[in-house]
Amino acid sequence: MYPANPMPELVEQPSEKQSEALYSVVAGEGEGFMLGLAAGDAAGGAWDLGYSAVTEQATVISYQLITHGRIDEERLVHALLELDGADQEDPVYRAESAEFRAWLDRSREGRAHPGSEPSLDAAARALPLGVVFRKDPESVVSAALDLGGIFHTDVATVVAGVISASAVAASCFAQSGLDLIAGVAETVEATAATLASRLNDDSRLGSVVGEIEALMPAVGISTGEEALKTVGGDHSDPVTTVLTALLLAAPVVHRHHLPIEQAARIGGSRLGAVVGAIVGARVGIRAWPWAFANDTWFAEIGRRLVRGPSEVRDLPIPYAVEQHLMSGGRPGFH
């Protein structure tokens, strides 16, 4: 598992050129995750002018965690519905998934209950949890189960969220390569009893630790198609898809954006966001090669989740930011 009190040790990792040594050190303890998440979302192209509802949801969840340190279902549902125009405003979600759209519609009718469809949404939503609970693996898993259960009943979908949150938590402490894979596997294995009791379904849990550990011999794969093929190639299974993200994000490479691009090619904005958050948590706050709006805002969100303060009153209101982005006086980003 990831350490509770890590030391910023230099760790040799494989690179794109096996003859070269690369090293990874703790860079902000996860501060760069949100910037990487938005970069991966934008690279995935769900919304052709920048980031989509994937990042918008992560922003709302991050605000909840900054101010309260946990997820409260009632507050979260209200905040998410606000961006959907529930307060007699225009909706500002962009390119939301079909599963999220269905959940929003049910919630607006007063029935905010989870859906049964397999979805990668849980993996993207759980990413901020890995940062805020990075020193407590049990809390990472418990919070991911709580959050996933608000939206989903499909076990593989919820487990995918547990895996992605655990990967971000490990990455906050610069774990990469085999260490990253092993850390995620150990977290899932150590919390197996919690997972089994909460999900009431062993059909997917029985094999998931072995599936994670089976990634170890393949660490170093750099293309999305090869990574997906290695984990079984099933696009419809959220666990398989998030394991593809884990395999792509594991190696330390010179050009940090390349794993994000590969994930976006095979899994769009949601998988791009997962890999972006894992890589961003490891490399810290940095500029990415493609432009997207509100990057300084996302950097500050990441900083606050890691270092505080537990306050958002001096930060922009998420609805106002997104409404301005969609209907500002001048087109494009400024």
pTM score of the predicted model: 0.91
pLDDT at 114 over 60: yes
Q: What pLDDT does residue 205 have? A: 78
Distances from the Cα of 296 to the Cαs of 222, 262, 300, in angstroms?
Answer: 29, 25, 6
In a domain, 282, yes or no: yes
In a domain, 10, yes or no: no
- Number of domains, the chain: 1
User: pLDDT tens, 33-86?
Assistant: 999 999 999 999 999 999 999 999 999 999 999 999 999 999 999 999 999 999
Q: What pLDDT does residue 250 have? A: 98
Q: What pLDDT does residue 327 have? A: 83
In a domain, 15, yes or no: no
Helices 192-199 and 155-171 meet at what angle, rounded to 10?
Answer: 150
Q: What pLDDT does residue 111 have? A: 77
Q: What pLDDT does residue 24 have? A: 59
In a domain, 125, yes or no: yes
Q: What pLDDT does residue 239 have? A: 96
In a domain, 216, yes or no: yes
Select the more confidently predicted residue: 277 or 326.
Answer: 277
Domain encompassing residue 91? 24-324
Q: Which of 156-159's residues contact partners 24+ apart within 8 Å by CB, and which partners?
A: 156/118, 156/204, 156/237, 156/238, 156/239, 157/117, 157/118, 157/119, 157/120, 157/121, 157/122, 157/238, 158/122, 158/199, 159/195, 159/199, 159/204, 159/205, 159/208, 159/238, 159/239
In a domain, 14, yes or no: no
User: pLDDT tens, 154-164?
Assistant: 999 999 999 99
Domain with residue 203: its CATH number is 1.10.4080.10
In a domain, 39, yes or no: yes
In a domain, 118, yes or no: yes
